[in-house]
Amino acid sequence: MPIPASELVLNPDGSVYHLHLLPEQVAQDIIVVGDPERVPQVSRFFDKVVYKVKKREFITHTGTYKGKPISVISSGIGTDNVEILMTELDALANIDLKKRELKEKHTTLNIIRIGTSGSLQAEIPLGSHLASSYGLGLDTLMCFYDLLQKPLEKQVGERLQNQLSLPFQPYCVSGSEKLLEKFAPHILQGVTVTCCGFYAPQGRSIRTALKIPQLITTLNQFRLAENPTFRLTNFEMETAGYYAMGRLLGHEVLSLNAILANRITHEFHQQPEKVVGELIEQTLSLMNK
């Protein structure tokens, strides 16, 4: 039975609905970024850019880097956008769009996020680069998917739900071990908390009262007796969504974070573009090794 037009939506030119991409316009190695303006900051290092496609916040540049096909795509902010991006990238790789059928052979995508983030530990300074060994989702995306979690991952979600009295259970998913191996010797590793907003969901209060005023303290002090090295290191808004969708769809995903804020020492980096630029160059040089 072909996948109906209402479920897998295609544009009149045959491209996927939101990304506006055709299968030949995306590589198997993909860098994802939140900010659409970061796309050319990555692709300027490519040998050449063959395709430039834009729809909404989803901007794609595809070409080669050191002779290997590569794409960079922006997601915009949040795990709701990540769900769309990951589903449509997977459809481009694994569904025959003309027949609307699953292809016989599965293609695994290698997806690396380069994003900005705030530190939850005083000793992780501004300007650090951090690879997420786990993503911990404080959003409700996975309430709608049947995600398999390992016992430690499930335990983290249950404990945090309890400690923060949340009406839903956070989810926790590991990143790609294969990709982490390339980066781990060169940058910090940590557990990244993915939030459903930038202000109150990350404990920021500008003009409104917080429902969970102890959020940052609880996350800063979260520990597992069974695994004493497990601690929550940083905040952002996409990583757990990428890791969960990657596990559901069978793709390798790693999130790399440029630490711009420290929420414990109350600082924000004076030159954010410099920190992000350094992470872009480091990622490109390590991902092909």
Ligand X SMILES: O=c1cc[nH]c(=O)[nH]1
Question: Residue 1's closest CA among 101, 138, 71, 134?
Answer: 101
Write each residue from 16 to 35 as x if it is in contact with ligand R1P (CB under 6 A), else as -, in one continuous string: -----------------xxx
Q: List Cα–Cα distances, 279 to 13, 174, 271, in angstroms.
A: 36, 21, 13
Does 236 participate in binding ligand R1P (rule CB under 6 A)?
A: yes
Q: Taking CB under 6 A as the criterion, which residues in 87-116 touch ligand R1P?
A: 115-116
Full 3-state SS string of 128-158: CEEEEEEEEEECCHHHHCCCCCCHHHHHHHH
Angle made by CA atoms 17, 19, 22, in degrees to the nearest 5: 85
User: Closest separation between CB of residue 161 and ligand X, Å?
Assistant: 21
88 binds, among ligand R1P, ligand X, none (CB under 5 to 8 A by kind): none
Question: Residues with Cβ < 8 Å from 94, sequence gap 6 or more?
Answer: 102, 103, 106, 107, 249
CB-wise, 79 or 149, nearer to ligand R1P? 79
Q: Taking CB under 6 A as the criterion, which residues in 34-53 touch ligand R1P?
A: 34-35
263 close to 118: Cβ distance less than 8 angstroms: yes
Write each residue from 183 to 212 as x if it is in contact with ligand R1P (CB under 6 A), else as -, in one continuous string: ---------------x--------------
Helix (H, G, I), strand (E, B) or coil at 86: helix
131 close to 187: Cβ distance less than 8 angstroms: yes
Does 237 participate in binding ligand R1P (rule CB under 6 A)?
A: yes
User: Closest separation between CB of residue 76 and ligand X, Å?
Assistant: 13
Does 82 participate in binding ligand X (rule CB under 6 A)?
A: no
Which residues are paired to 255 by β-bridges? 113
User: Closest separation between CB of residue 97 and ligand R1P, Å?
Assistant: 28
- The residue to which tokens 């092909």 are assigned: 288
Does 193 participate in binding ligand X (rule CB under 6 A)?
A: no
When binding is defined by CB under 6 A, the residue of 237, 240, 254, 279 that contacts ligand X is 237
How far is Cα 81 from Cα 203, in angstroms, rounded to an integer? 22
Q: Kindly report the length of the chain.
A: 289
Choices 8-16, 85-93, 138-146, 234-242; region in contact with ligand R1P by CB under 6 A: 234-242
Does 77 participate in binding ligand R1P (rule CB under 6 A)?
A: yes
Helix (H, G, I), strand (E, B) or coil at 215: helix
* Binding footprint of ligand X on the chain (CB under 6 A): 116-118, 198, 202, 235-237, 260-261
* Binding footprint of ligand R1P on the chain (CB under 6 A): 33-35, 77, 115-116, 198, 236-238
